[in-house]
Amino acid sequence: MSAEWQTAPQEARRRRPLLEVQGLTVRFGGLLAVADLDLRVEEGEILALVGPNGAGKTTVLNCISGFVRPAAGCIHFAGRDLLALGPERRAALGIGRTFQNGQLFASMTVLENLLIGRHTYLRAGLLQGLLPCGPAKSEDARARQRAHEILAWLELEPYADCVVAALPAGLQKLVGVARALAGEPRLLLLDEPAAGVSLREVAALAEQLRRWNAELGLTLLLIEHNMEVVQAVAQRVCVLNYGRKLAEGEPGRVLREPAVLEAYLGRDEEVNPLQEQEVSDHAAG
Ligand SMILES: Nc1ncnc2c1ncn2[C@@H]1O[C@H](COP(=O)(O)OP(=O)(O)O)[C@@H](O)[C@H]1O
Ligand SMILES: [Mg+2]
């Protein structure tokens, strides 16, 4: 039928995921850190990647952003083959990320970190960008305006001129998120944004993540240990265990699957975040 014929290519384009990971396999020496992982992130989606410590979550993010080279598999972003590109080119395509341990410029101010975050992505000369003169001037003004908007969103504006090292860990974590946002990514990769953040800040962060997703159309791939944050913000969750996908789907259902509960319980040395949540619920109530 003609109507069907006309809509078919559009449908196909719409169904193509923003990020598509196929058969991803990573080895560190004899250790199989990620094993034959398939992962799709749709444009506008919030997908949480969870699993016990050592499951391979950070390694997956490192493969997407270009810091780790997989032994096998492919990664496509907006139809582009990412494995052919270095980390900077991937960032320039619209992939932003935060790091588990911050990795901010500790001796610089919050605002300077955001301006660097932006220039890293835009690939303008750093020094040129920081000095308000020459051809970079209009971009500089725009970058500063954008940085202040992001700081206002995250309620970090009062700290704009504070040196990062002087801030509490929770605030530094938020600065890391702010810096990644300054690059205006299309896909934001967040590695445990709620770790070391106070409960009040966690709630605020969850609210912000939902807002960026809803208002800016930002697609999020989020590693998160705090199951309250996962349940509050993620539309879908993917559970990794020993580098393999254990379960995937709607968080309310997946996080109650026996195999998932067991994966967390099976690691004696680790606190079970699914139990932790019950404890904190009781503590709060
Ligand atoms: N650069 C590396 N060199 C060697 N082993 C690594 C490296 N990065 C991670 N690993 C190992 O790979 C496994 C997965 O690590 P990671 O991706 O950090 O897990 P997660 O983020 O889920 O806690 C772990 O056993 C870890 O020790
Ligand atoms: Mg990790």
* Residue 60 Cα: closest atom of ligand 1: 17
Convert the pLDDT of each residue in 48-90 to its tens digit: 999 999 999 999 999 999 999 999 999 999 999 999 999 989 9
Give the Cα-Cα-Cα angle 27, 30, 69 (nearest 5 degrees): 20
CA nearest ligand 1 atom 25, residue: 54
- Note the pTM of the prediction, 2 decimals: 0.82
Query: In terms of DSSP H, where are the helices of 131-236?
Result: 137-153, 169-182, 199-216, 227-233
CA nearest ligand 1 atom 4, residue: 28
Calpha distance 275→267 (Å, rounded)? 13
Q: How far is the CA of 50 from the centre of ligand 1 (A)?
A: 14
Convert the pLDDT of each residue in 213-264 to its tens digit: 988 889 999 999 888 889 989 999 999 999 999 999 999 999 999 999 998 8
